[in-house]
Amino acid sequence: MTSVWTLARDLEGRWDAFVKAHPDSTIFHTLEWRETLSRTFAHESVYLIAERMGDIVGVLPMFIVRSPFFGTSLCSTPFAVYGGILSVDVEASEALVRGAREEAVARKITRIELRHLKPSGLDLPGLDGYATFITEVPDSIPGCLERIPRKARAEVRKALAKPGFSIDTDSRDIESFHRLFAQNKRDLGSLVFPERLFWKTMEVMGEKAIITRVMFDGEPMSVVLSFIWNGMIMPYWSGASPRAERMSANNLLYHAVMEEASRRGLKWFDFGRSRKDTGPYRFKQHQGFDPTPLNYQWVLLDGTEIPRLSPDNPRFRLAREAFRRMPMPIARVLGSIVSSRMPV
């Protein structure tokens, strides 16, 4: 018999221990992620823990996201590409789904989104529009360059040979990071996340979060904030100047992150989620990464349908075009307001 409880303070140590020991855990299952989002946004957390014969057998981190565009949902987890159920078997997973349903019914919520990294074994409706890219980290610095396909390797070498380039692997400069991040997001017509999210991330995560920068003549050209968790490095949020692509700064950036992972003795490099057949998806393939489909699933109540949150949704097309044309100060303020009310 598997029992499900709402996470209480006296169970947090056992949650941490279970997540750290589970081979499929991600940074987004940690209580630090809950702390980061709680300090940044007004989302209420609903963390469920499954127990059997005195042992923790599963966990499910969720947040209540209230959106004027798509109603209220439970999301595991927002601002994360992974999350979902972490368990030892399907019985525990099914118990957590039942617990999540009960929480949703009590709050009159009709949708629960589960962003699983791996197949859950659950018979639930899902989406297959995303893939992730994970590969092993070479055990030597020279091996980091050798693993890159020939064309991409040539671009890295070109950048390495260019006078004026330097690499900063331990920056805490959130201001310049966010400036490039916001510029890229606005130009793509995507929401600009608030700068406070990155301040809180670095504050809460500590050594689990690092910023790598490619500099040219002292100016940041390409930047990425990476997470480090259980032997894996994950370049997660990034930004680049308009000159970065033609100067091969982005290629150099991710090569630098791979080298840093090798120096630290990390085993895995997680290039993160991309929508299929997009520019980022092809860039990761160009870097020698193979896609693995992600297993996003939904628990739907009262006949609710899966919302179309993809940028391809025609409802978003005009909004994206308008966002691209906004002055940066307005884009930053509006993006902060809207992103806090979307299950992004």
Q: What is the pLDDT of residue 316?
A: 66
Q: Buried b / exposed e across 132-147, counting CB within 10 Å, b at 16+?
A: bbbbebbeeeeebbeb
Domain ranges of the chain: 3-128+294-307, 132-292
User: What are the residues whose beta carbons fall under 8 Å from the beta carbon of 171, sequence distance 6 or more?
Assistant: 177, 210, 211, 212, 213, 223
Q: What is the pLDDT of residue 309?
A: 65
Q: What is the pLDDT of residue 171?
A: 83
CA-wise closest residue to 224 among 244, 243, 247, 196? 244
Q: Which CATH number describes the domain made up of 132-292?
A: 3.40.630.30
Q: What is the pLDDT of residue 220?
A: 92
How far is 195 from 328, CA to CA, in rounded Å? Answer: 13
How far is 325 from 313, CA to CA, in rounded Å? Answer: 19
CA-wise closest residue to 247 among 144, 162, 154? 162
Residue that has been written with the tokens 């014969």 in this structure: 53
Architecture of the CATH domain 3-128+294-307: 3-Layer(aba) Sandwich (3.40)
Phi, psi of 210, rounded to the nearest 5 degrees: -135, 150
Taking the chain (344 residues) in runs of 10, the rounded mean pLDDT of each run is: 93 96 96 94 92 96 86 91 95 97 95 93 89 95 92 88 88 91 87 92 95 93 95 95 88 94 96 89 90 92 78 67 81 81 73
How far is 147 from 136, CA to CA, in rounded Å? Answer: 10
The reply to whether domains 3-128+294-307 and 132-292 share a CATH topology is yes
Local structure of 33: helix, strand or coil: helix
Residue positions counted in the chain: 344
Residue that has been written with the tokens 């900063």 in this structure: 168
How far is 63 from 341, CA to CA, in rounded Å? Answer: 12
| Tokens of residue 295, six digits | 């297993």
How far is 137 from 262, CA to CA, in rounded Å? Answer: 6
Bridge-based pairing state of the strands 219-229 and 232-240: antiparallel
